[in-house]
Amino acid sequence: MVTAETDRIEKAVELNASVESVWHALTDPGAFRQWFGASLDARFAPGRRVSARLVGRAFERTRVEMEVQRMEPQRLLSFRWHPDATDPQADYSDEEPTLVEFRLRRTPAGTLLRLTESGFDAIPSSRREQAYHANFEGWTEQLKNIEDHVARHA
């Protein structure tokens, strides 16, 4: 599922894995690194700022900062970050961060994982469209990555 709005990205995937397995993939630093491609400097916890170094040749020197908003075990992980903040020379601190939410729901086949990223309309117009499109495509890839990850570790 994808919306036509420009302020938010909404995607969902049904995973053939337990809610517990998907939650582990989202919140365990080692598992997160494997599917997301980012090495976390700390475990996610509500109110905690977590820094992540992206892994891979294209972004190997890129760090992203996430501020964890909410964690409801096996139901919700949310954080704020600056989308497509990959220019090491740029200062994104004056920008309003977007809100990323991962919602999990048990289904007969396993787990429905719903991803929402909202708040793109608050990003400066000079980079809003690029950030939206980069993350729109990026989340498609990341949902495929987590699907592959949980299938391998089921």
Going from N- to C-terminal start, the domains of the chain cover 8-152
Cα 124 → chain centroid: 21
**Whole-number Cα distances in Å, 57 to 40, 53, 86, 118, 147:** 17, 12, 13, 28, 23
**pTM to 2 decimal places:** 0.93
pLDDT in tens, 115-145: 999 999 999 999 999 999 999 999 999 999 9
CATH number for the domain whose boundaries are 8-152 = 3.30.530.20
pLDDT in tens, 14-43: 999 999 999 999 999 999 999 999 999 999
Residues 71 and 20: their CA atoms lie apart, in Å, by 14
